[in-house]
Chains A and B, each alone.
Chain A
Amino acid sequence: MSLSLDPTFTELTSDFVCGTRDITGAPWAGKSGIHPIEGGAVFTTNGAGPHNVQMFVLAPDGTVLTALPGYWNSEDLALELDFAKKLYQVWIDPNLSLETKRFKFVQMHMQHIVDHPAAMVRRSQMQGFDKKFEAKNRPNSDTILAKTGGDPKFGGFQFKTTDVIMHERMAAQPFVNYRDFNVVAFSDYGRPKYDKKEEGELAPPPTMKKAKRHRGG
């Protein structure tokens, strides 16, 4: 959804070469319900569904400039696309050593967290079921901001927002080529399977039989 809306759409059509990869069966890929093509859709929070979708911005030589796990709002995605262009200027700067480039990469990713608009931060709350999963299964996860002071239903933990998690994890892999990029370390948080009830009340869900037929199952 966010790809077809401006400002992202205009950015993608004018400044990027676009590609897709089916990650079904990949070690980091999650599971999902069946989504037939007649189905509806939902707007959701930034970073929702990190195992199912990952978006990368690469330099022409395959160097990962930035990446985003899961769904992202169009405005927020556009902001990150612009940020990637700035990182690319660092990457191709002939006056900088590789070490300096990597240092700047880390610095810029961490600074971008601070620069995120308040609306983006509000849109970046981790899903409740992902918080529950992290609290129960990964009490030492890097997604946890503090172990006290949070909602009791999430073990009392306070969680970082997904826009923070994304940049912190990117900063751990400065200017790495796509073939060497650790997708698991980058995208693994929350439940691997989602039950999002995205049909809402707008469309009746198709029968499972019909859905499976679409999938060839």
Chain B
Amino acid sequence: MNNRVAEQCSVKRVKAYNIMRKHLAIALALVLASLAGAQGKRAVAPAIASANAIRAVDEIHWHTSPPEMTDIARKEGKLIFYVHMLGSLSGCT
């Protein structure tokens, strides 16, 4: 019984995580396309924008701490790609 309850809780947590991830992804899409956008340009369907953004958020780890970024860059011998944006990934831009 307890196991079943635990399993249900776990499923709920995964679903909540997926919803949150989707929201983060869509917000990212809007950062560079919508937020920076301009008049009379080709529109992208929300579903496509969402799919593209999920890819970017899922497969790229986005740091928010500059010291952390520089530490990792030094250790891994990589350059840093740092995006200033109006708004945040976790909500409306």
A and B from one assembly?
A: yes
A-side interface residues toward B, CB under 8 Å?
A: 1-5, 9, 12-13, 15-24, 26, 29-32, 34-45, 48-62, 65, 70-72, 81, 84-85, 88, 127-129, 178, 183, 194-203, 211, 214-216
State A52–B32 Cα separation when bound (angstroms): 9
Chain B residues lying within 8 Å of A49, measured Cβ to Cβ, are 35-38
Chain A residues lying within 8 Å of B80, measured Cβ to Cβ, are 16-19, 56-60, 62
With CB as the reference atom, state the residue of chain A lying closest to B48: A41
Task: Given the known inter-chain contacts A12-B81, A43-B41, A48-B36, please indicate yes or no for A38 contacting B46, CB distance below 8 A.
Answer: yes
Which one of A19, A32, A194, A195 lies within 8 Å of B64 (CB-CB)? A19
State A214–B91 Cα separation when bound (angstroms): 7
Which one of A3, A19, A41, A56 lies within 8 Å of B37 (CB-CB)? A41
Do residues A34 and B41 form an inter-chain contact, with CB atoms below 8 A? Answer: no
State A9–B53 Cα separation when bound (angstroms): 11
Which one of A1, A15, A59 lies within 8 Å of B44 (CB-CB)? A1
Chain A residues lying within 8 Å of B85, measured Cβ to Cβ, are 20-23, 52-53
Chain B residues lying within 8 Å of A16, measured Cβ to Cβ, are 78-81
* Between-chain CB contacts (< 8 Å), 26 pairs: A1-B29, A12-B60, A17-B69, A19-B83, A20-B63, A21-B66, A37-B27, A37-B92, A42-B34, A42-B42, A43-B42, A48-B36, A49-B37, A52-B85, A52-B86, A53-B36, A55-B83, A56-B82, A57-B81, A71-B33, A72-B32, A81-B81, A178-B82, A194-B35, A198-B33, A199-B43
Interface size on B, residues (CB 8 A): 57
Do residues B30 and A56 form an inter-chain contact, with CB atoms below 8 A? Answer: no
Do residues A196 and B34 form an inter-chain contact, with CB atoms below 8 A? Answer: yes
State A211–B33 Cα separation when bound (angstroms): 18
With CB as the reference atom, state the residue of chain B lying closest to A216: B91
Assess whether B14 is interfacial by the CB under 8 Å rule: no
With CB as the reference atom, state the residue of chain B lying closest to A55: B83
Do residues B32 and A53 form an inter-chain contact, with CB atoms below 8 A? Answer: yes
Task: Flag B39-83 by CB within 8 Å of A: 1 or 0 each.
Answer: 111111110010011011001111111100110111011111111
With contacts A52-B36, A128-B39 known, what are 15 further pairs, Cβ within 8 A? A19-B80, A20-B63, A37-B30, A40-B34, A40-B44, A40-B46, A42-B37, A44-B33, A44-B38, A45-B38, A45-B41, A53-B83, A54-B83, A197-B40, A215-B91
Do residues B36 and A70 form an inter-chain contact, with CB atoms below 8 A? Answer: yes
With CB as the reference atom, state the residue of chain A lying closest to B74: A60
Do residues B82 and A71 form an inter-chain contact, with CB atoms below 8 A? Answer: no
Do residues B33 and A43 form an inter-chain contact, with CB atoms below 8 A? Answer: yes
Do residues A52 and B35 form an inter-chain contact, with CB atoms below 8 A? Answer: yes
Shortest Cβ distance from residue B30 to the other chain A in the assembled complex, whole angstroms: 5
Chain B residues lying within 8 Å of A2, measured Cβ to Cβ, are 32-33
